[in-house]
Structure 1
């Protein structure tokens, strides 16, 4: 096991997809990288629906070993109406724990020192990072520690709006190639989903924070309904949940006492405010953050601002549209037309935005 460096070039907080990719990119460039995570195991507990767009293959071409199945279409149901089919709508259902472990191995293979069961003790105003009662002062700090990032909070970048999600794993009566979406005024600020993983499905609901107290009953009702239809089994195999940031992109560059700080993934507010998707943007932004760290430490003065601009180029159009639709829905009421206009599978979502 590698010894911890006394003064690492880069400390990465969080070893999800964003942190692992950042650590790998920085270490591959020859930097000394220490990456930590408070969890005991990569990717566990699973706190996402595990669906990624098939275009993620362009970033990570070897996903087959961590893929449970592929999907080819989406079925969207608005209240009791018949399903609207969107095809093609290709995706991959990951084994998220295996996916995260695979990315961590790549970071370690690149030379990063990766440590689990290692919570962040704190970030001081001078840029020092406290880990296991030891203070380290990196040359650059990368926050990839999720929607309620402590690194982001240290530089005043905080996600302010959240959806609360609850998800269970249930048996599927038969395999399916479609992702199911359930839109309803009963799910304010969110939606329901059933995503297939072979003979098991991830069944979940997300709602705005004001409605989070109803999540358990809402999900139970959806589960009961699908079980009565013979689509899913009645036994709950696993349960998870957590917050999803939906307030939009944060400026991802800051400083603490001369230590430069970058944010990536959920910590940078890159989760899609409508769909809640965040794995692909975490992978992309993490790799960019690691490369920007290497370039800046290598002497390219504009590398960190370039990172912020590249994030904006990649994500702002999509996130801005989603935020606009989210605000429209909240202001107009959730009738069937409004629900369709606020969902990515419908042409109305992509229509010209009103002022």
Structure 2
């Protein structure tokens, strides 16, 4: 770590400029705080590591969603093994352009006065909360926000890690038939996850996720699903883009802590707020980023309880749904014990479209 004389003191450091980090930075900077935010990617939101679906219920909370919507979604179809699809008629939402969305969030943070440093990551965090960046500078914040994804360096420093993950692989293909809903593929071969086909106008995101010890099967499983959809005349053979990444599926983890005198908050995927069944993380990233910004404004204005209230609010918002999803996920994975496999009924119980998922 650098000498003390070269450490820059700031009010807030935000690590990660996805929706959670950018909104937290914007919320803090809006109050006139000295905010520095770092994003290791050279372009925020790229490569896209997300299926890009946002539920309609979130639309009223950010005007930016409308500006980056590529297609409206009206319903969801769930394909269980080789059976005919089950249709969920009113499952509305937006397919967005995620990289444009992230860019808008960063622009908003900058407009509010946050110093957003792109292409700069955090290399190390000391036990007393001093950060060293990948270009060798050091910062000492009063509050540190970790919004740096499921393998958060901030979370690791404060002893709060996402220990359960799903590995994903996704391709972008051309759609050969119109599609105004999301297609979900539930199969015992896709262990710990599911497949998806999410339309974006004349293109679609086609992907799937599995437990980490099945990651070697990601490529062949996706190749198989892609081939099936080609045979049905639904998508092109040409692959336009590849992407992938990890999704936290263990539920909410401790998102409030301290490093020395530095207060530490986690938000978005770093806090484990992603739904363990669906993998949906954008809504929770937006909510938690906004709440983190509000908590910082309160804390710096002299309300010492504001940070603790942030954690309580997240628990109130997400704990019940996350715990249910974790239970269903554990039930589904237990079907593989002793060489077993989940049948169609077990797969349905593990998916949000079915009444069995919501049963006690």
Give the alignment's TM-score, normalised by structure 1: 0.97
| SS of aligned partner of 1:108 | helix
Matching residue of 1:344: 352
Deviations 1:225-267 (A, max 9, x none): 1001100000000000011110110111000010000000000
Please, which of 217, 223, 226 is the counterpart of residue 223 of structure 1?
Answer: 226
Q: CA shift at 1:64, angstroms?
A: 1.8
Q: Deviations for 1:176-233, whole angstroms, at most 9, x for unmatched residues?
A: 1110000000101000000000000000010111111110000000000100110000
Q: Is contact 2:79-2:186 (8 Å) kept?
A: yes
Q: Which residue pairs with 2:4 in the alignment? A: none
Counterparts of 1:37 and 1:192 in 2: how far apart (Å)? 29
> 1: CA distance between counterparts of 2:207 and 2:268?
22
SS of the aligned residue for 2:296 comes to helix
Write out per-residue CA displacement over residues 282-331 of structure 1, whole angstroms, 9 at most, x where no aligned residue: 01001111111221122111111101100000110110000000011112
SS in 1 for 2:325: helix
What is the CA–CA distance in structure 2 between the aligned matches of 1:214 and 1:168, rounded to whole Å? 15
SS in 1 for 2:8: coil
CA contact (8 A) 2:17 2:147 kept: yes
Distance 1:148 1:36 in 2: 16
What corresponds to 1:243 in structure 2? 246
What is residue 10 of structure 1 aligned with on the other side? 12
The gaps in structure 2 that reach 5 residues or longer are 1-6, 336-340
* Structure 1 spans left out of the alignment, 5+ residues: none
| CA–CA distance in structure 1, aligned partners of residues 294 and 59 of structure 2 | 20
Q: CA deviation at 1:280?
A: 0.6
How far apart are 1:62 and its partner, in Å?
Answer: 4.0
Q: Which structure 2 residues correspond to residues 111-260 of structure 1 after superposition, within 5 A?
A: 111-131=113-133, 132-260=135-263
Between the aligned partners of 1:103 and 1:134, the Cα distance in structure 2 is 25
Secondary structure at the residue paired with 2:329? helix
Could you tell me the TM-score, scaled by structure 2's length? 0.95
User: What CA distance in whole angstroms lies between the structure 2 residues aligned with 1:298 and 1:124?
Assistant: 27
Counterpart CA distance in 2 for 1:35 and 1:304 is 19
Matches of 1:237 and 1:175, distance apart in 2: 18
Q: Name the CA distance, whole Å, in 1 between partners of 2:310 and 2:147.
A: 15
RMSD (CA atoms): 1.0
Structure 2 counterpart SS, 1:9: strand
